[in-house]
């Protein structure tokens, strides 16, 4: 087995630094009326207003097609914290932004799963 680096013609992708990654399920079974996509679409303005679009608290956001947790949507997951939220209405998203993404404290009444912390 060679230990020589492999010549790779593809450029290495680059992603700006971020503190947390918010994953939003936008699959058709999470919500039937497009609420999840509308929630995702609203995040740019919400993050900018909260100062989460740049700097030390920057949050990256991504759509996910299915978490296989199809009840109580919209569903979002905050990584690397491993915190899973259900019933993420626009008002509840505002609470998650303020309390969890800005201040680092999960919104306990919306959490349906928390990954084990080492």
Residue 4: per-residue pLDDT: 66
What does the chain come to in residues? Answer: 118
CB 67 within 8 A of CB 86: no
Q: What is the pLDDT of residues 46-99, one digit of tens each?
A: 999 999 999 999 999 999 988 878 788 899 999 999 999 999 999 999 999 999
Name the CATH superfamily for 20-114: Glutaredoxin (3.40.30.10)
Q: Give the Å distances, CA to CA, from 30 to 1, 18, 22, 36.
A: 46, 26, 16, 7
116 or 95: which carries more pLDDT confidence? 95
Global pTM? 0.87
User: Is residue 41 over pLDDT 60?
Assistant: yes
């Amino acid at each position: 087995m060679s230990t020589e680096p492999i010549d790779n013609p593809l450029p290495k992708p680059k992603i700006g630094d971020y503190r947390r990654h918010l994953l939003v399920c936008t699959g058709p079974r999470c919500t039937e009326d497009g609420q999840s996509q509308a929630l995702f679409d609203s995040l740019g303005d919400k993050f900018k207003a909260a100062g989460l679009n740049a700097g030390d608290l920057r949050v990256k956001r991504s759509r996910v097609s299915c978490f296989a947790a199809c009840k109580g949507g919209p569903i979002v997951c905050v990584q690397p914290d491993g915190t899973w939220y259900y019933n993420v209405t626009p008002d509840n998203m505002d609470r998650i932004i303020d309390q969890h993404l800005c201040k680092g404290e999960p919104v306990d009444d919306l959490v349906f799963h928390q990954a084990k912390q080492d």
